[in-house]
Structure 1
């Protein structure tokens, strides 16, 4: 064989070898891609029953078959899904008709769903949104369960808030108004109480052992809060009217917060009794209110 022919054979062998390497690499890459795609596929039919969990499932790219009935704006791809009611009016027939494998409910609302779902053999899982740390932990748990660890980590990173240290802590009274005119005082373990504490405030006139307790006017007068945050749990216009009427009576007119115009009315979706994805916006407002109270 001539030198020229030997050279041609060598070139051909190198070309074949390179082709085999390329094909092998493509096959390996394709196998890995298919494996990752399978890991990302969700084989459960899932129904969510509150807005915060629906928003989180959407952020983690977990498909749903049913979502809560709400006036709040749901993520775009969830807006057209069947609505299954909410804890005020559960549409159990609709839930059952969707043939879900699992229904997610808030840990505070399990009694509204547990019995009927058990009768139908539908799995129910509760999620904890009681406060900011609980929500972050819940996001991580959902990400782990459905192979969405990266998305969960990114979402938790986006929700990070920085605690504020203050030499003098503004005294804050947290009131939650209910339709009908009744109020409850929230303590530092509530969602809003935790945000106030992180912003450098001190919760006053609350029972440290109970997250929510009836109003004690004597306690409130003694505490004399610098800031009052009034949360409307539902029917905000009616609740705010009740708040305004009550604040005409003692001890409210004499409180520092009232005299210095540091009374703030809040409502959903930004503010609520439990944690949600508006936490950074809510926290920013709380910080600004506490800052303002110290400037007066």
Structure 2
């Protein structure tokens, strides 16, 4: 019995000393220290769940928002904003992972109750790789995350290298339109979608401009003036042709080259709006599309 007790005590002692406190800087520049191993996570931004699933640590997640499509079999905490702090407290998380922008105001609400918050808010592909690595550190899967991030980075660079030899590159614009084309959203410098278009072999005609996280609104006059070769539009569910039909049927665009030549293409709007590993798959899909329509 004494030997059994000593063996158990040794295991417990080793487990205590096996963890070394980790201090990280999140995407808001906040310094966050993890004094103990993270075993219970609430994910308040669905894009982050992708990292956790890819790193094989889904079992550590105890709560997600109602909008999470990556992890669906754990407790739901409700909306992304405002966060249901009472529900989160009941789940006793070691950390809540959330994004910047509209969720920044939620951080102080969590910290008021002693709940650790860590923000991941990638706006570039390299920041996506960095966030994947940060999640790996939080999960205790540093090496796995670093290797996976390097694999994704290598795939990205290989696609980009293959487009260097293209003599002609299509002039491209991304247009997100709802209800009418009087105001559409597009991506410029500072957005990961602008990077994807460039790495995929296209010339983003809105690259010289920028806005909040690289996104800004434009009118139909800009599109007519620039006369793109290819227009990319988002779809968010099977059969979604809302933006596509608006662009194709807009009287203002009847003489735009991409419309006349049938080169308005639907891309996955969910992948395009979530800064996680799905962006590299989207890069491959857009690269193939450009290759076939140069």
> TM-score scaled to structure 2, two decimals?
0.74
Q: Count how many residue pairs are aligned between Structure 1 and Structure 2.
A: 257
Residue 139 in 1 paired to residue 140 in 2? Answer: no
Return the structure number with greater strand share.
Answer: 2
**What's 1:106 paired with?**
99
Alpha-carbon offset, residue 223 of structure 1 = 1.2
CA deviation string 1:6-49 (max 9, x = no partner): xxxxxxxxxxxxxxxxxxxxx9xx99xx6699449834532112
- Decide which of 39, 47, 65 is 2:42's aligned counterpart: 47
Residues 48 and 54 in structure 1, CA contact (< 8 A), matched pair in contact too: yes
**What's 2:184 paired with?**
183
Q: Aligned ranges for residues 146-161 of structure 1 at < 5 Å?
A: 146-160=139-153, 161=156
Distance (Å, rounded) in 2 between the aligned partners of 1:180 and 1:111: 31
**What's 1:23 paired with?**
none
Q: Aligned ranges for residues 1-296 of structure 1 at < 5 Å?
A: 38-39=18-19, 42-62=37-57, 63-70=60-67, 72=69, 74=70, 78-87=71-80, 90-111=83-104, 113-160=106-153, 161=156, 162=158, 163=160, 164-165=163-164, 166-178=166-178, 183-205=184-206, 208-210=209-211, 211-232=214-235, 240-241=241-242, 243-269=244-270, 271-294=271-294
Specify the SS of the correspondent of 1:96: helix
CA deviation string 1:22-80 (max 9, x = no partner): xxxxx9xx99xx669944983453211223211212333442221232362x2xxx432
CA deviation string 1:191-216 (max 9, x = no partner): 22111111121111466232222222
Residues 224 and 256 in structure 1, CA contact (< 8 A), matched pair in contact too: yes
Residues 173 and 225 in structure 1, CA contact (< 8 A), matched pair in contact too: yes
**What's 1:5 paired with?**
none
CA deviation string 1:206-263 (max 9, x = no partner): 662322222222221121111111124x67877x435523542343221111122111
Q: 1:235 to 1:47 in 2, by over 3 A?
A: same
Distance (Å, rounded) in 2 between the aligned partners of 1:255 and 1:278: 31
RMSD across aligned C-alpha pairs, in angstroms? Answer: 3.2
Specify the SS of the correspondent of 1:290: helix
Q: 1:188 to 1:236 in 2, by over 3 A?
A: farther
Q: 1:180 to 1:112 in 2, by over 3 A?
A: farther
Specify the SS of the correspondent of 2:75: coil
Q: 1:116 to 1:109 in 2, by over 3 A?
A: same
Which segment drifts farther, 156-165 or 173-182?
173-182
Residues 46 and 101 in structure 1, CA contact (< 8 A), matched pair in contact too: yes
Distance (Å, rounded) in 2 between the aligned partners of 1:59 and 1:175: 30
Q: 1:183 to 1:89 in 2, by over 3 A?
A: farther
Distance (Å, rounded) in 1 between the aligned partners of 2:259 and 2:187: 18
Distance (Å, rounded) in 2 between the aligned partners of 1:179 and 1:44: 45
Residues 106 and 126 in structure 1, CA contact (< 8 A), matched pair in contact too: yes
Which segment drifts farther, 88-97 or 211-220?
88-97
Residues 59 and 151 in structure 1, CA contact (< 8 A), matched pair in contact too: no
**What's 2:3 paired with?**
none
Distance (Å, rounded) in 1 between the aligned partners of 2:72 and 2:203: 39
